[in-house]
């Protein structure tokens, strides 16, 4: 489970979304009979999953970035953490999650292999050093990111301890107080969380544009004593997936393709119970893509029920998280 996304669900911002199949169309290929005339796109079994590109930017920008206690910050510390951000993208984050969740390596071992393979510590300047605590949330991806930060900071001369501290409601106050100095975070979700602390009635600071999200996040961070390193290209956010076999059969690569070819009765959307009402889940698919699924199947939030339902042809498309190890190639 990824608490950052569930939090956004509760905050009615970036949360769950999925939808169905539509009328025939497109790209010079003949549509299969099952997707013609709004019949929809029936589920197709398969072992590999693929995320459909969110080409109209329904989801907000939950890029991984380091959140830092301002008093603990220094140019050397930020420069070291920025080396991690520069090396990370979503495909590499998926591979890291696979190493831990599927291959059963420790977060520390997976981080060490990543740092070596990507020359993360090359050129890091040593500063004055000192003792520093890196915090992490209580799920494996956050723990692994925390270990990546620890290795970069060790190269910068710090003596580093990594500590897992539950969910955001617990670790964010610890970060503000300075009990921990750094924690891996997700730009849009953290911005929404901080807005709730600073001004619950204020405008949602998260956006589908990364620069806008980060600008708003920095302004909120100033109010609570936090600063931030550079955002990485790695995103862990809501995404809609199909089996590769489904994508190949119906010729869909994007959510726009899904809406153009798969609206109709045969298309089954799967996700958490709250998905139909959420602006970043089924309701968003309707509003942004005009995607009309024939049926909704209540499952879980990007968990084993949804992934199994995709692979066994119970649903056509399902809500997943974009850095899920199940999306690893091969």
Cα–Cα distance for residue pair 16/14, rounded to 1 Å: 7
pLDDT at 16: 29
Instruction: State the span(s) of the chain assigned CATH 3.10.105.
Output: 64-228
pLDDT at 127: 82
Mean pLDDT of 226-249: 98
Contact 241, 52 (CB under 8 A): yes
* 64-228 CATH pick, 3.10.105, 1.10.260, 3.30.110, 1.20.1300: 3.10.105
Specify the pTM: 0.87
Which residue carries 């901080």 as its tokens?
194
pLDDT at 68: 98
Q: Residue 285's pLDDT band (boundaries 50, 70, 90)?
A: very high
The overall average pLDDT reported for the chain is 90
CA atoms within 13 A on the CB side of 323: 31
Q: Residue 35's pLDDT band (boundaries 50, 70, 90)?
A: very low
Q: In what order do the strands lie in the sheet with 64-69?
A: 158-164, 130-136, 182-186, 64-69, 226-228
Instruction: State the span(s) of the chain assigned CATH 3.40.190.120.
Output: 3-59+237-327
Q: Residue 29's pLDDT band (boundaries 50, 70, 90)?
A: very low
pLDDT at 20: 31
Contact 137, 167 (CB under 8 A): yes
- Residue ranges of the alpha helices (H) in 140-250? 140-155, 168-177, 187-198, 210-224, 244-250
CATH number assigned to the domain covering 3-59+237-327? 3.40.190.120
Q: How far is CA 171 from CA 162, 198, 271, 309, in A?
A: 12, 17, 28, 34
pLDDT at 128: 85
Contact 180, 142 (CB under 8 A): no
Q: Three-class SS of residue 190?
A: helix
269 bridge partner residues: 296, 317
Q: Residue 244's pLDDT band (boundaries 50, 70, 90)?
A: very high
């Amino acid at each position: 489970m990824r608490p950052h996304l569930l939090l956004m669900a509760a905050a009615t911002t970036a949360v769950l979304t999925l939808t169905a199949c539509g009328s025939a169309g497109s790209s010079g290929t003949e549509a299969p009979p099952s997707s013609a005339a709004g019949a929809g796109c029936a589920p197709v079994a398969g072992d590999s999953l693929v995320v459909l590109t969110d080409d109209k930017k329904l989801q907000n920008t939950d890029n991984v970035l380091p959140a830092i206690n301002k008093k603990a910050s220094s140019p050397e510390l930020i420069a070291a953490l920025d080396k991690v951000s520069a090396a990370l993208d979503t495909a590499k984050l998926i591979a890291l999650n696979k190493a831990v969740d599927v291959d059963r390596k420790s977060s520390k071992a997976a981080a060490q292999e990543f740092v070596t393979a990507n020359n993360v510590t090359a050129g890091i300047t040593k500063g004055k050093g000192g003792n520093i605590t890196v915090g992490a949330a209580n799920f494996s991806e956050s723990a692994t990111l925390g270990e990546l930060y620890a290795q970069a900071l060790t190269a910068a001369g710090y003596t580093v301890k990594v500590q897992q501290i539950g969910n955001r409601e617990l670790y964010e106050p610890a970060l503000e107080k300075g009990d921990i100095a750094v924690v891996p975070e997700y730009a849009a979700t953290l911005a929404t969380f901080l807005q709730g602390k600073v001004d619950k009635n204020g405008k949602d600071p998260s956006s589908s544009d990364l620069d806008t999200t980060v600008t708003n996040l920095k302004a909120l961070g100033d109010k609570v004593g936090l600063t931030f390193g550079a955002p990485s290209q790695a995103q862990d956010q809501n995404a809609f997936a199909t089996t590769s076999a489904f994508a190949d059969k119906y010729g869909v690569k994007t959510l726009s393709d899904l809406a153009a070819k798969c609206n109709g009765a045969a298309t089954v959307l799967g996700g958490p119970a709250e998905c139909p009402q959420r602006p970043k889940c089924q309701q968003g698919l309707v509003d942004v893509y005009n995607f009309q699924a024939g049926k909704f199947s209540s499952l879980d939030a990007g968990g084993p029920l949804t992934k199994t339902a995709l692979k066994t042809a119970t649903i056509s498309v399902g809500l997943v998280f974009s850095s899920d190890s199940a999306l690893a190639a091969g």
